[in-house]
Amino acid sequence: MTEIRHDIRNVAIIAHVDHGKTTLVDALLKQSHTFRDNQEVGTLIMDSNDLEREKGITILAKNTSIRHEDVTINIIDTPGHADFGGEVERVLNMADGCLLLVDAAEGPMAQTRFVLRKAFEVGLRTIIVINKVDRANADPKKTLERVHDLFLELAEDADQLEAPVIYSIAKEGRAGLKPDELGPDLEPLFKTIIEHVPAPVAEQGGFQMLVANRAYDDYTGTISIGRISRGRIASGDTVAVLGGDGDQRRVKVAQVLVYRGLDRVAVPSASAGDIVLLTGLEEVAIGDTLADPESPDALPRIEIEEPTVRMTFGVNTSPFTGREGKFSTTRQLRARLYKELDTNLGLHVADTEVAERFLLSGRGELHLAVLIETMRREGYEFEVSRPEAIVKLINGQRMEPVEHLTVDVREEFVGAVTEALGKRRGEMIEISYDKKGGVRLEYLIPTRGLIGFRNT
């Protein structure tokens, strides 16, 4: 027996880097009156991490909640870069639908393809949002055609091809059903979310939840975040933790929290369909199942794609060690790297034959670069090797990772770009021209060919 939770919508927002995803979430928060009238509100509310604000990208997946017409809309803001695909893959399990945000000038990009494929694999219903329709070189019609081509290529079933379309200018907080007829606010988008994102289906039975994320708070300790698949949970309940190695143990839930805007609010209990934060559960890993101890059924674990780039991290051996950082010993470096595995699912860490060095494998240069900069700011001193692509032996053949590269340039620079990429073993698969002298080149290129490749 099942029950439909008409009072909840769980929706993820997916897009390529810098297509306006976090800006749209900011506008939704402001227009849902999440903040008090006298509360000062900045921009990029959801990108609270210093590195996110500096780089202008989302690195960590985050949750928030808004109310509209007696419906709670849980919003999951996901990274748009494939290097942080581990963040994307684990949080899409909490959603029933997604907003696919696409820049009206750039159209769907390589990263859009990656995240949309993940959304289709978990069966999400999609709403297409064509953003930045006010840009000088915007072409909403052509962009929508390219999105539909992408849907035909990636959709898992016919139902996923049926997607409503909204046009918007996120920075102005406006949306509409036609690109030249935008309303004064985002009401068309709110209505479309409520009408087209499926309401969560609450299965009857004992409590069951997959841990999709973890957080830490100095006051409450470790927090396990996920969506309740079945049953109810209340403060003080005992649950079974089902780990990846088949072990099972019982723990007690100290507190049940839910999102209200950007705040976490304690509630007496929550039921299937709710996205909750549970405190008091130590040593619970992402991917573990929390279940009723009387009928403990495990949910499928989250599958993360394999790393493509690796680097060696080691203690600082220069004469200036200890001058800038606070943590420079092997023990401190090792503890910090292995602690990162608690929340960074796309990362692999391994000891090497040399005790002072560790081999780290990640989803790309940016994935490892963000970790390096985060640790540097935390006061760690260490040295790193050059990044290198991971080569595997599959069916007796050496295989290497390959990237889908998109380059937008002016027509006069096409020759220089194709020459540079040709030297790095890039293979052109498509070239297209716009009406204003711009050219888009699409390549398949080995990951090793992109390492160190920069705009000049």
Which fold would CATH assign to domain 309-390? Alpha-Beta Plaits (3.30.70)
Query: Could you give the C-alpha distances from 438 to 181, 223, 328, 435, in angstroms and in order?
Result: 27, 48, 49, 7
438's tokens: 């711009």
Which fold would CATH assign to domain 397-450? Alpha-Beta Plaits (3.30.70)
Query: Could you give the C-alpha distances from 28 to 14, 32, 132, 190, in angstroms and in order?
Result: 15, 6, 16, 8
201's tokens: 């289906």
What is the pLDDT at residue 192? Answer: 94
Domain 309-390 identical in fold to domain 397-450? yes
Domains of the chain by residue range: 2-199, 203-291, 309-390, 397-450
Identity (one letter) of the amino acid at 399? M
Neighbours of 338 (CB within 10 A): 12
Query: Could you give the C-alpha distances from 260 to 64, 94, 102, 336, in angstroms and in order?
Result: 7, 17, 27, 32
Q: Return averaged pLDDT per consecutive 10 residues of the chain, 456 residues in all.
A: 82 79 84 56 45 44 78 79 56 87 86 80 90 89 91 86 91 91 92 92 85 78 88 92 83 90 86 90 85 87 81 88 82 91 82 92 86 90 92 91 86 90 91 81 90 72
Query: Could you give the C-alpha distances from 430 to 97, 107, 451, in angstroms and in order?
Result: 31, 15, 22
What is the pLDDT at residue 306? Answer: 83
CATH number of 203-291: 2.40.30.10
- What is the Cα–Cα distance from 431 to 421, expressed in whole angstroms? 14
Work out the angle at residue 253's Cα, subtended by the Cα atoms of residues 247 and 254, and round it to the nearest 5 degrees. Answer: 140
Q: DSSP character for 294? A: T
Which fold would CATH assign to domain 2-199? Rossmann fold (3.40.50)
pTM tops 0.85, yes or no? no
- What is the Cα–Cα distance from 260 to 266, expressed in whole angstroms? 10
- What is the Cα–Cα distance from 193 to 428, expressed in whole angstroms? 38
Query: Could you give the C-alpha distances from 358 to 95, 141, 170, 331, 385, in angstroms and in order?
Result: 36, 50, 43, 12, 10
DSSP labels, 308-361: -EEEEEEE--STTTTSS-SB-SHHHHHHHHHHHTTT-TT-EEEE-SSTTEEEEE
What is the pLDDT at residue 361? Answer: 93
What is the pLDDT at residue 313? Answer: 95
Q: What are the start-end ranges of the E strands in 40-173?
A: 62-68, 71-77, 97-103, 125-131, 165-169
